Structure 1
Amino acid sequence: MPAYGQAAIARTIGMKPKLGARIEEELVSGWNRAATQHVSLSLLVIEIDRFREYFTAYGKPATDATTGRVMQAIADALPRDGDLCLRMGRATFVIVLPDLPALMARATAKNITTAIRKAGLPHKDSHAGSITLSMGLAVGNPRGAYDKKFFEAAAEALKKAQRKGINRVESVDLRPAQEKKRKAA
């Protein structure tokens, strides 16, 4: 069963999104687990495309129901039983995937896209005709204490995907820079 985080996204230019305690807890836990086991950590930040237009066209009750169906479809597409889809704000979801390499994380993003397409949730104000998602993926090899820049990298990848259109996934691999930094230290 998916977990539900409660946090609002800062809509003001220049403000960073507030993650909420549950998401922050999951990020720190995933980071620590990956750091202890010396494995990769993948992070997906997902947003429903053209959400405001959907809300305007369909209203709050339909939007709430559809958001719940999107969250369930995402949760059902996750690769492991313990993986959680956490809600951040009205149309954004966060998935922390410790010990999931980059290729498997990309495959997970593709599986989520397929699950949403199969759900066939109509969106009359999107040129796709149905609900679509944009995603930002960050992959790193954590060491030491949790670094908030990891989440920021995934959020920036999401913004890049949204600038390119709808139904896109953009990824950033932080491992080369992390390795270079470790060797320099």
Structure 2
Amino acid sequence: MRVLFLTKRDLRTMADTDGLTQLYNRRSFDLLLQRALQEALREQTRIALIMLDLDHFKAYNDYYGHPAGDLALQRIAGVLASHPRRDLDFAARLGGEEFALVLRNPDSAYLVSTCESIRRKICDELAIEHLKNPAQVMTASLGASFSNASDTTASLYQRADLALYRAKANGRNRVEID
């Protein structure tokens, strides 16, 4: 029975997490985001969705190679994994060089400080050399949005994604909050 229990646990972990970064995978993200949004609506609170995309990552992979790209993704995941502070906050790798972080019931100041802290840690503390990026180090653009009472996961995701694209369009290595 113990072996069966441990095997089931290991299989669930493999099904729920991204193998490279050990963050939740896209499937888990979709399920957890839906649950978080439903709980926020029920409790009359809100969640914040942060989308993060690494700047010029294809150029990084082309220049340094995929093993270096994988290592960079693992290091970025470590930054995200260290940021959720509340028990129900979570980080996920959505695919490629795109990540998400969901925060339960943050205020505006907490959301801004979390986004800026992540951006600075990636750029200044990790300082992964990236000669194909104007900053000469790996940088990230972040977009975030708060949920509202009429949101679906798709509408919340869309607003956070649009904020991310504004960050990219406004020069990269920045935060935009909807």
- TM-score with structure 2 length normalisation? 0.81
Which runs of 4 or more aligned residues in structure 1 lie more than 3 Å from their structure 2 counterparts after TM superposition?
none
- Is residue 2:101 matched to residue 1:95? yes
Report what 1:105 is aligned to. 111
Report what 1:3 is aligned to. 23
Report which of the two has the higher share of helix. 2
- Is residue 2:135 matched to residue 1:115? no
- Is residue 2:172 matched to residue 1:152? no
Equivalent-residue separation in structure 2 for 1:98 and 1:51 (angstroms): 29
Report what 2:52 is aligned to. 46
Query: What count of residue pairs does the alignment treat as equivalent?
Result: 157
Instruction: Mark the CA change 1:71 to 1:147 in structure 2 (over 3 Å): closer, same or farther.
Output: closer
- Is residue 2:72 matched to residue 1:66? yes
Instruction: Select which of 30, 34, 38 maps to 2:36.
Output: 30
- In 2, are the aligned partners of 1:31 and 1:98 still within 8 Å (CA)? no
Report what 2:9 is aligned to. none
Query: Which amino acid counterpart does residue 164 of structure 1 have in structure 2?
Result: N
Equivalent-residue separation in structure 2 for 1:106 and 1:53 (angstroms): 28
Equivalent-residue separation in structure 2 for 1:58 and 1:79 (angstroms): 33
CA root-mean-square deviation: 1.8
- In 2, are the aligned partners of 1:48 and 1:133 still within 8 Å (CA)? yes
Q: Deviations over 1:118-171 (max 9, x none)?
A: 11211111111111110110012335x734111011001101110111211111
Distance apart, 1:110 and its partner CA: 1.1
Distance apart, 1:82 and its partner CA: 3.9
- TM-score with structure 1 length normalisation? 0.78
Q: Secondary structure at the match of 1:85?
A: strand
Q: Deviations over 1:74-119 (max 9, x none)?
A: 2213333542210011100011112112221111101111221211
For structure 2, the residue ranges without an aligned partner over 5 or more in a row are 1-20
Query: Which amino acid counterpart does residue 118 of structure 1 have in structure 2?
Result: E
User: After the TM superposition, which residues 145-184 of structure 1 pair with which residues of structure 2 at under 5 Å, given as runs?
Assistant: 146-172=152-178
Query: Which amino acid counterpart does residue 118 of structure 2 have in structure 1?
Result: I
Query: Which amino acid counterpart does residue 139 of structure 2 have in structure 1?
Result: T
